[in-house]
């Protein structure tokens, strides 16, 4: 029987880290059906059952966890080799693992993170699942909790508040129409909140949080978003106060062994400065609007 290819192993990593086919499909561009067939083929090639399949998703078996650990080490080594090879002809690469909205804020303020005179490049991996750095999958990540891994360092950047938003001057007929990310992709607490509190009023669902802002601006309904997103947009207004149970502390995390690398330290310091400049917005304390 043919040995598994590295591509098959990479697809396994995507499915394992996403916890199912839908999330992996969004990351790889392949259909869930194709990914499902590839995972069955990989199990046949390895002679091991790697997943427990259910309506809730793909849960790793003991063999699946062992394979994930080994592949994560291989992936980290492959990336280090690639970085080493690339450094011969290009500047250093700093890899960021970010959620949708922190990536949006950094994109909006990118020159504050990486300017034209910097001798490093930025790679942003955008996903809602927890930033993984244990095996150097990324150099810098943002998490909603302090890391427990002993090999990770962390810098607290303050609290993040959430509220519901709609377009200004809404149509009164649409005052109780809610928007949400579908349940399969509602990984974070704020994405689950509409399903837990406004399920009967949800009129549209999307598979990515970024579309919530676009739909709210179009007047489609009400969406829960971080205050640093909603309050920065003058075409949106809050519906009520901040939602207390969604507020959480935010952390920038990095690998202990790499945190003193000049380019990583530079990017972390600049991210801290950017978040500090937006602290009032992050915490839901809106500045006065003109």
Report the SS3 class of residue 181: strand
- Token readout for 37 is 């067939």
Domains of the chain: 6-69 (1.10.10.10), 91-160+248-282 (3.40.190.10), 162-246 (3.40.190.10)
Residue 212 CB-half CA count within 13 A: 30
Q: How far is CA 147 from CA 23, 181, 226, in A?
A: 23, 26, 22
Residue 138 and residue 239 in contact, taking contact as beta carbons nearer than 8 Å: no
Residue 125: beta bridge partners? 97
Task: Find the helix or strand (DSSP H, E) in which 105 lies.
Answer: helix 100-108
Measure the CA angle with vertex 134, ends 55 and 161; round to 5°: 70
Dist. CA 253–CA 255, nearest whole Å = 7
pLDDT per residue rounded down to tens, the chain (290 residues): 578 888 899 899 989 988 889 888 887 888 899 999 999 999 999 999 999 998 888 999 999 999 999 998 888 787 777 767 665 555 788 999 999 999 999 999 999 999 988 989 999 998 887 666 655 678 899 988 888 777 788 899 999 999 999 999 866 665 789 999 999 999 899 999 999 999 999 999 999 999 999 999 999 999 999 999 999 999 999 999 999 999 999 999 988 878 888 999 999 999 999 999 999 999 999 754 54
Q: What is the pLDDT of residue 39?
A: 93
Residue 163 and residue 223 in contact, taking contact as beta carbons nearer than 8 Å: no
Q: What is the pTM of this model?
A: 0.67
Dist. CA 141–CA 124, nearest whole Å = 10
Q: Give first-to-last CA distance, the chain, whole Å.
A: 69
Dist. CA 175–CA 199, nearest whole Å = 15
Residue 95: beta bridge partners? 123
């Amino acid at each position: 029987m043919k040995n598994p290819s590295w591509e098959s192993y990479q697809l396994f990593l995507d499915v394992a880290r996403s916890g199912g086919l839908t999330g992996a499909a969004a990351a790889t561009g392949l259909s869930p059906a194709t990914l499902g067939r590839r995972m069955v083929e990989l199990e046949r090639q390895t002679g091991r059952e790697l997943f427990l399949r259910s309506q809730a998703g793909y849960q790793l078996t003991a063999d699946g966890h062992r394979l994930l650990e080994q592949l994560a080490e291989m992936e980290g080594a492959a990336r280090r080799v690639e970085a080493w090879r690339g450094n011969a002809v290009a500047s250093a690469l700093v890899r960021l693992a970010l959620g949708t909205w922190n990536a949006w804020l950094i994109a909006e303020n990118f020159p504050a993170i990486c300017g034209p005179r910097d001798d490093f490049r930025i790679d942003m991996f955008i996903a809602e699942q927890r930033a993984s750095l244990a095996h150097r999958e990324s150099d810098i990540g943002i998490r909603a909790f302090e890391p427990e891994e002993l090999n990770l360092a962390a810098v607290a950047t303050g609290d993040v508040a959430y509220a519901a938003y709609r377009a200004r001057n809404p149509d009164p007929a649409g005052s109780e129409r809610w928007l949400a990310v579908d349940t399969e992709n509602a990984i974070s607490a704020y994405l689950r909140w509409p399903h837990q509190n406004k399920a009967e009023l949800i009129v549209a669902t999307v598979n990515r949080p970024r579309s919530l802002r676009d739909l709210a601006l179009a007047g489609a309904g009400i969406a829960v978003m971080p205050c640093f997103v909603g309050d920065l947009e003058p075409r949106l207004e809050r519906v009520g106060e901040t939602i207390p149970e969604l507020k959480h502390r935010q952390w920038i995390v990095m690998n202990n062994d790499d945190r003193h690398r000049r380019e990583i330290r530079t990017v972390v310091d600049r991210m801290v400065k950017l978040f500090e400049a937006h602290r009032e917005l992050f915490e839901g304390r809106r500045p006065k609007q003109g």
